[in-house]
Structure 1
Amino acid sequence: MPTLAVTNFNIVLTVLGGWISLFGLVSYLLKENFYLSEALISLLAGVVVSPPAANLIRPLEYTDGSEADVDVVTLYFSRLVLGVQLVLAGVQLPSRYLRKEWRPLSILLGPIMVAMWLATSLLVWGLVPNISFLHSLAVGACVTPTDPVLSNVIVKGRFADHNVPRELQQIIIAESGANDGLGYPFLFFALYLIQYLGDPAEQGGARAAMGMWFGETWGYTILLSVVYGAVVGWIAKELLHWAEERKFVDRESFLVFAISLALFIVGTCGMIGSDDVLACFIAGNVFTWDDWFRLETLDDSLQPTVDMLLNVSIFMWYGVVCPWSSFAHNDIIPIYRLIALGILVLLFRRLPSVFAVHKFIPQIEEVRQAIFVGFFGPVGVSAIFYLYIAVDFLARLDVDGHPREDVKNLAETIKIVVWFLAVCSIVVHGLSIPLGKLGFYLPRTLSRGPSSADRESAAPFRLGSRVATLVTHRLPFRRSAEPSPGPASSPGPSSASGRDIYRIGGSVIPMRTEDTGENGKPVFHPPPREGLGGLADDESPTRPPEAAGRTIRFPDELPSRPQTSGPIHHD
């Protein structure tokens, strides 16, 4: 007789699949109309199914009650998400972006990161009782990098397309991708000093600590990862070019290549003990150094789909494993001090330093943009990643199986403070845009003087009317390839009111003009598209030209221009 099998595996699949399906039903409404991030919504869903609430997801039962094993799962899950996200972030950037924009990036990754580290550390030192400044440096280092996952709320979607200049989006993507891997020097500067200057300290003192920091952290971890990521990204690009020229690669494998590259780099860097996070970002940028892969996959939805699945899953897991009860009940820091620390870190961790140097960053053209970039420096997946890197390092300092006296509370302090700051950032940055629109119509404070048509398209809209308009105008076009009577040219499909029609995701659907080829069959020429990167200041927002000699074509794809023959020229 059949029996119920209410196992943990079945429950996890039910909850995760059910939540992603339910969220998908209203995802466009929440993300594009109300500007709510999937990270915040998934975090709240994780709280609902966590052990203190519905108790549907029980992480301790998956690891035989071992809290340390749950921490290891969280660390590896965070590594995986960061690796995939950073390869995709590198692929999104235009050709040779790191070389072209090295000056503003060096400011963001140098003085601003140092200022963020010191500002956070000083706040932790002042508000956490009985903590030394050296220990506060370790806590501050965990939340120094900005998070590439949470940054998506201001660089993707309808809000970003209409209100954040393309150059500003790109510099935010590049900074959040590069500074994730550069969190290692800040963290291990403090950890090595704790190891060699604590009580009881290991032999060598500050000299040995700095030797380890320069040799192992900068030499082996950072420089090796940069070289390794660049070499792997270049070899992968050349191999994909070679396979595509000979028609060896099919559509599915071509589109998933960047994601499989991320998995390979995370695995190999993990085996050699280098910085897999930084290597993934460098590899992604070198992989599309000639812009070929980026342009080939510009309209593909696979990468955004994988991105969404990882975001929803990781933040739901964070909602489950976050030590919620420790915020109010701990022997480290009272809850009122923790709340004050969260507020002050959000205000002073990044905003003053960005505001002070924004005139040296060409992408930040005015004060309001400086305030915007300074405030939106979220703390998220990267902070949790470095949190468990620090906890693992401190566990190796045990003496005879017991924590060293000077660091016995440091791991718990880092857990409580970093988790609380991450939750504060997810909630505050996830609600800032919708609350800002309710309060003072935030998009007008960020744009660089959009045209009247842009302002109209940026206005809030109802999903039902857009879908109805879309169906009404696209069906006649699909029924016949004959040119419809009417004006000779039209800027794009529009409703009776003259407003643009939007596809799912918020971008405008362009009108396709038609022509007749030599054989009498219709030839389709897509007009320029909006919102794509790599433009000069005096260019209109049109689609970048396709890579020279594009040859890859798939059966379900209408050619945008006649097929060309000849060799492919690429870097």
Structure 2
Amino acid sequence: MHSSPRQRSLWRRSPAAEQDELNIVITAIGAIVLFLGLLSDYFRRHWWTCDPLTALVLGILLGPVALDLVHPIGWGIPPEDLLEQTTRLTMAIGLMGVALRLPPHYFFRNWKPLAVLLGLVMPMMWGVSGLLVYWILKIPFWEAMLVGSVITPTDPIVSTSIVTGVIAEDYLPKGIRHLISAESGMNDGLAYPFVLLCILMLERSASDGDLLTHWFVDVLLWDVGGAIFWGWLFGHLAGRLLKWAERKKTIERSSFLGYTLALSVTVLGAGKLLGTDGILAVFVAGRAFGNVIGGQERSEEDNVQEAINRFFTLPIFILLGLMIPWQQWWSLGWWNIVLVLAVLLLRRLPAILLFHRFVKPIKNIPEALFVGWFGPIGVAAIFYTGYSLRRVGVEEVWLVCSLMICASILAQGLSATPLTKLYGRWFQKNQPT
């Protein structure tokens, strides 16, 4: 398959038309948050769907293939910039929520299983995904590996809809829920070195020096190591300052939510200004912050935080539904189905089955199958897609990644409730008395 130019609008839309489309999107965002707020429990129990899938369907309905009400390409913003910047903020807010949901000092107590998932399983996911794209689509090797790196991270935003809510609380053990959340939160930022390595290989020229040394020092040590250091420092200081303010009674209890949102945005921007991986820095900051304030009762704030996360994350899936490249998908023919099935079944499951004995919360094959299947591709992949398009302009990144994101949301969104119930019944039947 050869690169094809991106579909761009050749006409200028009137300001009135753009304003109408913006109001349609705003109305849709508010309506779906209200709708899911009223019926999400019923939908999860009886319709086997999840919030991201519902938002994605709404975006498709509003877009050119259905009601033809909204045309993002006509907004005058390059699609890659729109995707990158909107998902960047969304991920920061979502990752803070995931980080605060984990128990205090979770990473110190579970560093061995997380080291296996992040140090062994994640590189295998990258390699398998990239090689599948290379063999099936016959595109250049490093372009295929770039696609593989983009779809490697398991998404915490989509995972949240799987490991939270009444179904998950009724049927899933806490250990499994925390493991999926912790892994997805970390590997969003840790996918950055894989993405950068592929981009550097595509950008390299004959005059380049030792590219691997540059990648190791600048990307791995500074971008990733610096993100961990600065994120921990910001989060720890923010937690200490909050406890001081509560002791001195200079902060209202209702200010906690605004404090965590401000921390997300501050660390995201500061991490980027420092030249580090801002996404990873936000998650680390959230964990350091949670470790400091851990043990305090904030259940009401946690519920509000989840509602805010939903409000900020659902628009991304509406936007994705509006921008699906249907015509380019059809050009792949039946290779679409082959690629989707191969990636969904081989990207993660074999690696989890291979190493599950070293991942303490996973005790047996059924649990390994559950954890291996639920490694969704979502907002993180959208972010890295936009970033990669801006850096190297490889069209296959958007074509393949958008296909895999939608396929993952569909397959894992529809299977979350039935498989969670199935696993829960098996667990209750087989657990020791």
Residue identity in the other structure for 1:47: I
Match in the other structure for 2:181: 173
Select which of 394, 400, 411 maps to 1:417. Answer: 400
Aligned pair in 2 of structure 1 residues 254, 25: CA closer, same or farther (>3 Å)?
A: closer
Describe the superposition over 1:268-312 as per-residue Cα deviations: whole angstroms up to 9, x where unpaired: 2233332111001100000011453x6331243210111111232
Divergent runs of 4+, >6 A:
none
Aligned pair in 2 of structure 1 residues 214, 104: CA closer, same or farther (>3 Å)?
A: same
Match in the other structure for 2:5: none
Match in the other structure for 2:410: 427
Match in the other structure for 2:117: 108
Tell me if the contact between 2:185 and 2:283 (Cα under 8 Å) persists in the aligned partners: yes
Select which of 185, 190, 193 maps to 2:198. Answer: 190
Tell me if the contact between 2:41 and 2:166 (Cα under 8 Å) persists in the aligned partners: no
Residue identity in the other structure for 2:56: L
Describe the superposition over 1:514-571 as per-residue Cα deviations: whole angstroms up to 9, x where unpaired: xxxxxxxxxxxxxxxxxxxxxxxxxxxxxxxxxxxxxxxxxxxxxxxxxxxxxxxxxx
Q: Distance in 2 between matches of 1:99 and 1:39?
A: 31
Match in the other structure for 1:19: 32
1:423 CA displacement: 0.6
Match in the other structure for 1:467: none
Match in the other structure for 1:138: 146
Q: Give % identity.
A: 30
Tell me if the contact between 1:119 and 1:349 (Cα under 8 Å) persists in the aligned partners: yes
Match in the other structure for 1:89: 98
Tell me if the contact between 1:147 and 1:180 (Cα under 8 Å) persists in the aligned partners: yes
Residue identity in the other structure for 1:48: L
1:414 CA displacement: 1.1
Q: Does 1:120 align with 2:101?
A: no
Q: Distance in 2 between matches of 1:229 and 1:150?
A: 23
Q: Distance in 2 between matches of 1:244 and 1:423?
A: 44
Q: Which moves more between the two structures, 34-43 or 364-373?
A: 34-43
Q: Distance in 2 between matches of 1:39 and 1:169?
A: 18
1:451 CA displacement: 10
Unaligned residue ranges in structure 2 (runs of 5+): 1-15
Aligned pair in 2 of structure 1 residues 317, 217: CA closer, same or farther (>3 Å)?
A: same
1:260 CA displacement: 1.4
Describe the superposition over 1:44-65 as per-residue Cα deviations: whole angstroms up to 9, x where unpaired: 01100012321222212322xx
Tell me if the contact between 2:80 and 2:385 (Cα under 8 Å) persists in the aligned partners: no
1:186 CA displacement: 1.1
Q: Does 1:163 align with 2:171?
A: yes
Aligned pair in 2 of structure 1 residues 451, 366: CA closer, same or farther (>3 Å)?
A: closer
Describe the superposition over 1:398-438 as per-residue Cα deviations: whole angstroms up to 9, x where unpaired: xxxxxxxxxxxxx111111111011110000001134548x
Aligned pair in 2 of structure 1 residues 18, 415: CA closer, same or farther (>3 Å)?
A: same
Q: Does 1:152 align with 2:160?
A: yes
Q: Distance in 2 between matches of 1:213 and 1:94?
A: 34
Q: Distance in 1 between matches of 2:210 and 2:124?
A: 26
Match in the other structure for 1:38: 51
1:160 CA displacement: 1.3
Match in the other structure for 1:219: 221
Q: Does 1:445 align with 2:433?
A: no
Give the structure with higher Rg (CA). 1
Aligned pair in 2 of structure 1 residues 108, 447: CA closer, same or farther (>3 Å)?
A: farther
Residue identity in the other structure for 1:121: G
Match in the other structure for 1:8: 21
SS of the equivalent of 2:280 reads helix
Residue identity in the other structure for 1:139: V
Q: Distance in 2 between matches of 1:271 and 1:8?
A: 33
1:258 CA displacement: 1.3
Q: Does 1:47 align with 2:31?
A: no
Match in the other structure for 2:296: 295
1:100 CA displacement: 1.5
1:445 CA displacement: 3.0
1:237 CA displacement: 0.4
Q: Distance in 2 between matches of 1:103 and 1:257?
A: 32
Q: Distance in 2 between matches of 1:251 and 1:362?
A: 37
Select which of 292, 296, 318 maps to 2:320. Answer: 318
SS of the equivalent of 1:393 reads helix
Q: TM-score, normalised by structure 2?
A: 0.91
After superposition, the CA RMSD in angstroms is: 2.1
Match in the other structure for 1:493: none
Q: Does 1:246 align with 2:259?
A: no
- Number of matched residues? 416
Aligned pair in 2 of structure 1 residues 273, 57: CA closer, same or farther (>3 Å)?
A: farther
Q: Which moves more between the two structures, 216-225 or 345-354?
A: 216-225
Residue identity in the other structure for 1:39: P
Q: Distance in 2 between matches of 1:442 and 1:359?
A: 19
Q: Distance in 2 between matches of 1:433 and 1:89?
A: 18
Instruction: State how 1:324-473 maps to structure 2 within 5 Å.
Output: 324-329=326-331, 334-395=332-393, 411-436=394-419, 441-447=422-428, 449=430
1:143 CA displacement: 0.7
Match in the other structure for 2:207: 203
Unaligned residue ranges in structure 1 (runs of 5+): 396-410, 453-571
1:449 CA displacement: 4.5
Tell me if the contact between 1:88 and 1:259 (Cα under 8 Å) persists in the aligned partners: no
Q: Distance in 1 between matches of 2:43 and 2:409?
A: 16
1:85 CA displacement: 1.1
Aligned pair in 2 of structure 1 residues 35, 295: CA closer, same or farther (>3 Å)?
A: farther
Tell me if the contact between 2:150 and 2:385 (Cα under 8 Å) persists in the aligned partners: yes
Describe the superposition over 1:198-218 as per-residue Cα deviations: whole angstroms up to 9, x where unpaired: xxx2412xx521122112211
1:382 CA displacement: 0.6
Q: Distance in 2 between matches of 1:451 and 1:214?
A: 47
Q: Distance in 1 between matches of 2:418 and 2:191?
A: 31
1:313 CA displacement: 1.5
Aligned pair in 2 of structure 1 residues 105, 21: CA closer, same or farther (>3 Å)?
A: same
Aligned pair in 2 of structure 1 residues 443, 34: CA closer, same or farther (>3 Å)?
A: farther
Describe the superposition over 1:60-106 as per-residue Cα deviations: whole angstroms up to 9, x where unpaired: 2322xx5xx23211111111111111111111111211111111110
Match in the other structure for 2:9: none
Tell me if the contact between 2:48 and 2:418 (Cα under 8 Å) persists in the aligned partners: no
Tell me if the contact between 2:33 and 2:310 (Cα under 8 Å) persists in the aligned partners: no
Residue identity in the other structure for 1:138: L
SS of the equivalent of 1:289 reads helix
Q: Which moves more between the two structures, 421-430 or 154-163?
A: 154-163
SS of the equivalent of 1:56 reads coil
